[in-house]
Amino acid sequence: MNTCKGVGIVSLRLKNMMAYNSICRMLRRESDYKFAFGNSVSPAMHAWPWDTWGAGHWRKFIIGVDGTQAGFGAIFIDKPNVVCCIELGLLPQYRGMGYGGIAGRLLISKCFTEYGARLVESFALSTNLRSIGMVDWMTLEGRLQARHLIDGQEVDELIYKITKPEWAARQENT
Shortest distance in whole angstroms from residue 52 CB to ligand COA: 23
Rounded to whole angstroms, how far apart are CA atoms 91 and 7? 14
Closer to ligand COA by Cβ: residue 50 or 78? 78
Q: Which phi-psi region, left, alpha or beta, contains residue 5 (left: φ > 0; alpha: ψ -120 to 50)? A: left
| Cα of 97 vs its chain's centroid, Å | 16
DSSP string, 10-30: EE--GGGHHHHHHHHHHHHTS
Shortest distance in whole angstroms from residue 2 CB to ligand COA: 17
Shortest distance in whole angstroms from residue 55 CB to ligand COA: 25
Closer to ligand COA by Cβ: residue 129 or 140? 129
Shortest distance in whole angstroms from residue 169 CB to ligand COA: 20
Closer to ligand COA by Cβ: residue 56 or 98? 98
Residues 73, 42: contact at Cβ < 8 Å? Answer: no
If one counts every other C-beta atom within 10 angstroms of the C-beta of residue 134, the result is: 24
Closer to ligand COA by Cβ: residue 36 or 83? 36
Closer to ligand COA by Cβ: residue 50 or 93? 93
**Comparing C-alpha atoms, which of 104, 102, 125, 107 is closest to residue 37?**
125
What's the Cα-to-Cα distance from 79 to each of 4, 73, 75, 113, 120, rounded to whole Å?
28, 19, 12, 15, 12
Shortest distance in whole angstroms from residue 10 CB to ligand COA: 17
Contacts with ligand COA, residue ranges (CB under 6 A):
27, 36-37, 71, 88-90, 95-101, 124, 128-131, 133-134
